[in-house]
Amino acid sequence: MKSFLAVSSLIVLLGGCSLIAALDQMDREADQRACDGFGFRRGTDSYSNCLMQQAAQREEKDQRAQRARDREAFERARKR
């Protein structure tokens, strides 16, 4: 619910700005918070690797969620 409110507020505040760019920025900031929380120092190779791993994990999670939605849609269509 908190994320929904944050995204909704962001959409209203940004107005004419690109929603995709705003969402990408939110992802980058979340990745940075995660890597900061792991204790990596910004500007190091370890920090860059952490950012890449965070992005890869998010992409994998997004792909799994899309496959699940595709399966659900297929099952609904098959039952009709």
What is the spatial distance between Cα 37 and Cα 20, in angstroms, rounded to a whole number?
A: 26
Interval 11-39: pLDDT, tens: 666 565 677 888 899 999 999 999 999 99
Domain count, the chain: 1
Domain enclosing residue 47, as ranges: 2-79
Q: What is the mean pLDDT of the chain?
A: 88
**Which residue is listed with tokens 């595709």?**
70
Helix (H, G, I), strand (E, B) or coil at 12: helix
For 1-80, where are the alpha helices, taking DSSP H only? Answer: 2-14, 19-37, 45-79
pTM for this model (two decimals)? 0.68
Q: How many Cβ atoms are within 10 Å of 46's Cβ, its own excluded? A: 13
